[in-house]
Amino acid sequence: MKIVGVTSCPSGVAHTYMAAEALQKAGKEKDIEVHIETQGTSGVDDELTSGQISAADFVVLSTDTSIRGTERFKGKKVVQLTTTQIIEKADALMNKLSKMA
């Protein structure tokens, strides 16, 4: 299974990156390929490629602030959660998505 995602939060300093790391860590533990783009105060890091997006089974987007470039995910299965939910429940989310894939 492959997952891509974009995280962002109001101050763009901490939760953006914690949520990204939580998803990447949970993916690594479960052997799921995960690519996460962060949209923070210091700019966009790890911008998703069109190849990564087209290969992804699911897209995870944080809902704390509006994500830029959501048109890239048209037609994809999108899961939306707050960064706090992602941070606390990344493992459970990965398990759930694995079963749905």
Partner 1 sequence: MNNVANFVDVVTAFDIEADSKAEAIKAVITKLDAAGKLLDREKFQADVFAREAELPTYIGFGFGLPHSQSDYVKDATIGIGKLTHPVEWNDGKKADFIFLIAVPYGGKENTHLKILANLSRLLMHDDFRDKLRSTSETEVRDLLMASQNPHRSE
Query: Which are the catalytic amino acids?
Result: 9
Candidates 43, 50, 75, 99: give the one binding partner 1 (CB under 8 A): 43
Strands 2-7 and 43-45: unpaired
Placement of tokens 């990447």 in the chain: 24
| Nearest CB to partner 1, comparing residues 34 and 60 | 34
Contact residues for 99 (Cβ-Cβ < 8 A; gap 6+): none
Per-residue x/- mask for partner 1, residues 56 to 95, rule CB under 8 A?
Answer: --------x-------------------x--xx-------
Placement of tokens 């749905």 in the chain: 100
In whole angstroms, what is the distance from residue 48 CA to residue 38 CA? 9
41 touches partner 1 (CB under 8 A):
yes
10 touches partner 1 (CB under 8 A):
yes
Cβ-contact 40, 13 below 8 angstroms: yes
Quote the tokens at residue 31. Answer: 């052997």
9 touches partner 1 (CB under 8 A):
yes
Which parts of this chain interact with partner 1 (CB under 8 A)?
A: 9-18, 20-22, 24-25, 27-28, 34-35, 38, 40-43, 45-46, 64, 84, 87-88
